[in-house]
Structure 1
Amino acid sequence: MHTRMEHNLFLLTFDNKLGLSPPNLPDSKAKRVLDLGTGTGIWAIDFADDHSEAEVIGVDLSPIQPSFVPPNVRFLIDDIHEQWDFSEPFDYIHSRMMNFSIPNWPEYLDKIYQNLAPGGYVEIQEIDVMMKSDDGTLGDDSAIMKWSNLLNEASVKLQQAYKKIDEFKDIMSEAGFTEIVDVRFKWPTNHWPKDKKYKELGVWNNENIAIALESLTIAPFTRAHDTWVLANLFRLWKKAFIMRG
């Protein structure tokens, strides 16, 4: 459910498109497509449905993909941290919500670059867990910012450093990529926006956060913060939820 909800959030954000780069256009000529960290395979399956001429490969460490899929999509159970042994390069490589899963982004992006065909595209879709407010009133003493900062500290201590969104363009350039386009969107955390689309995004994102918060938080907080106890964690959650709800 969580993966589908995130998928729907991205679809709503991108006006029902699977991505913003040219391979996502209806007349795309992409023949080989790679979806990294495919999870349930929902993005790969949708792309394969939309582009019947493309061979789509989804890679993940967990075998949680369905068996009934379009004929032009297949899944590999593999560790993307190890050496990549693809026989041919790809026209399009897609990576989404991988920030906490990649300990070494320069190495990851170098692998992507080495496995792209000349003129190929990569699309990195990530979110910033560091919350922001339009009016600048969200201070570091707020519960939700304490949570964000503690999560970032934990990721650094556990050598799973969360890469800041502002850093992506530079590390992609260092990996050799050119014509880099940085497009950013807002995801409200609840239903407060007046705009219909942002209100819907806020409702979906509120539910998404509620589902993901525990799994995203407990392990890094209790492993990285020596004095942290679950009782304190639950109190912080409660304050954060009251603020955003």
Structure 2
Amino acid sequence: MAPWAKAAFDLIGGTDNNPRNIMSTYNPTSPGSQSVEAPVTGEYLENGRYYPSYKRGQYMFPCDEEERDRLDVFHRMYFEARKGHLHSAPLARDRQVRILDAGTGTGIWAIQMADTYQNALLTGTDLTMMQPNLIPANARFLQSDMEAPWSLGETGWDMIHVRAMMGSIARWDQFYHEVTRHLLPGEGRLEHVEIDWTPRCDDGTLAENAAVRTWAHELMGVMDETGRPMRFDPPRQRQLMAEAGLVDITEEIIKVPFNGWEGDLADRPAGRFFFLGLKKGIEALSLAPFCRYKRMSPEEVKAVTDKVISEVSLRRNHGYCNL
């Protein structure tokens, strides 16, 4: 995980166009909560799961109720793994700050940040609008493709937050350049959090031919074929950040166990939520990549994922992933 990097200098961008604003109003001084308009884009059914029609096929994972549950469980895993912190990058306390959550998903991180920092203005963007109907008055959600030239209509963000976007971005070099262009010069920070899906084990209890190792290897191989890799290479990401003009790049690595196996007591809550998220979401992570690119049937995919879940549920297997 690269906790944060800092904008170095002013970059002058071109004219921005406004994306579709999903929020009915955006008045941070108004009391209470605000409503989000119903999405105008639809969904399509594939192998029993619903996927977003907007930019059809670009996003490989579902957007249905099951997926929303999975994303929220993983949010809790991140929260526990980071010892109850929503972010690592420092935020100014002496003025109103503006925070962008790129690839917001269900919006849970942005909503909790808006509740925590009630003087901040939060904007979440995503291809699919799966946020709740009621949101804090200081939050809004936009439908926007963050792979395209950004059309947010504004720059000078104090923080841009990116989480679990490996598998969704084809050109990280272009993405980081957009980040640099939109951060507050000299002060704005990028916080990028990812799961490295390569299974690891320090004590030999997870076999080299373990089902979870095979699954992760195959999934990352398929995602390489799609042009939007899931494999996370920290040195490469740091290089791309630096080439985009970001400075003061720091990195923190957190081990997250596949389950609540015995060990550091502080790791157990994160491990339990990681296992629950895998149990709820391994099918969502696997179906489209394996069915579309490996020509597997949904039944074949389920057989693979069931074996993985059965294996990682065993507390004698001390496997983990890096965050």
**Structure 1 and Structure 2 fold alike (TM over 0.5):** yes
Cross-structure match for 1:182: 251
| In structure 2, C-alpha distance between the alignment counterparts of 1:61 and 1:121, rounded to whole Å | 23
User: Bigger shift: 130-139 or 108-117?
Assistant: 130-139
Asked whether the equivalents of residues 77 and 271 of structure 2 are also in contact (C-alpha less than 8 Å), the reply is: no
Which structure has the higher relative contact order (CA within 8 Å, separation 6+)?
2
Relative to its length, the structure with more helix (as a share) is 1
Cα deviation digits, residues 129-164 of structure 1 (max 9, x gap): 111112255454221111011001100111121242
Q: Secondary structure at the match of 1:141?
A: coil
Asked whether the equivalents of residues 127 and 165 of structure 1 are also in contact (C-alpha less than 8 Å), the reply is: no
Q: Secondary structure at the match of 2:199?
A: coil
Q: Secondary structure at the match of 1:217?
A: helix
Relative to its length, the structure with more strand (as a share) is 2
Amino acid at match of 2:263: K
Cross-structure match for 2:267: 198
Cross-structure match for 1:91: 158
Asked whether the equivalents of residues 89 and 191 of structure 2 are also in contact (C-alpha less than 8 Å), the reply is: yes
| Unaligned 5+ runs, structure 1 | none
Asked whether the equivalents of residues 101 and 124 of structure 2 are also in contact (C-alpha less than 8 Å), the reply is: yes
| In structure 1, C-alpha distance between the alignment counterparts of 2:250 and 2:138, rounded to whole Å | 29
1:240 and 2:304 aligned: no
Alpha-carbon offset, residue 88 of structure 1: 2.8
Distance 1:28 1:122, change over 3 A: farther
| In structure 2, C-alpha distance between the alignment counterparts of 1:121 and 1:30, rounded to whole Å | 15
95, 99, 103: which is aligned to 1:37? 103
1:14 and 2:119 aligned: no
Q: Secondary structure at the match of 1:100?
A: coil
Distance 1:198 1:40, change over 3 A: same
> Alpha carbon RMSD of aligned pairs, Å?
1.9
Q: Secondary structure at the match of 2:247?
A: coil
| In structure 1, C-alpha distance between the alignment counterparts of 2:95 and 2:88, rounded to whole Å | 15
Amino acid at match of 1:89: G
Cross-structure match for 1:77: 143
Q: Secondary structure at the match of 1:130?
A: strand
Q: Secondary structure at the match of 1:129?
A: strand
Q: Secondary structure at the match of 2:184?
A: strand
Normalization by structure 2: what TM-score?
A: 0.70
Taking every aligned residue pair, what percent have the same amino acid on both sides?
A: 29
Cross-structure match for 1:132: 200
| In structure 2, C-alpha distance between the alignment counterparts of 1:136 and 1:165, rounded to whole Å | 23
Amino acid at match of 1:22: P
153, 167, 170: which is aligned to 1:103? 170
| In structure 2, C-alpha distance between the alignment counterparts of 1:67 and 1:177, rounded to whole Å | 36
Asked whether the equivalents of residues 195 and 232 of structure 2 are also in contact (C-alpha less than 8 Å), the reply is: no
Amino acid at match of 1:54: A
1:154 and 2:222 aligned: yes
125, 131, 134: which is aligned to 1:65? 131
Distance 1:88 1:21, change over 3 A: same
> Between Structure 1 and Structure 2, how many residues are aligned?
242
Amino acid at match of 1:105: W
Cα deviation digits, residues 175-215 of structure 1 (max 9, x gap): 11111111011111112123322122211111100111001
Alpha-carbon offset, residue 115 of structure 1: 0.5
User: Bigger shift: 13-22 or 29-38?
Assistant: 29-38
1:53 and 2:119 aligned: yes
| Unaligned 5+ runs, structure 2 | 1-68, 314-323
1:112 and 2:210 aligned: no
Structure 1 runs of 4+ aligned residues shifted over 6 Å read none
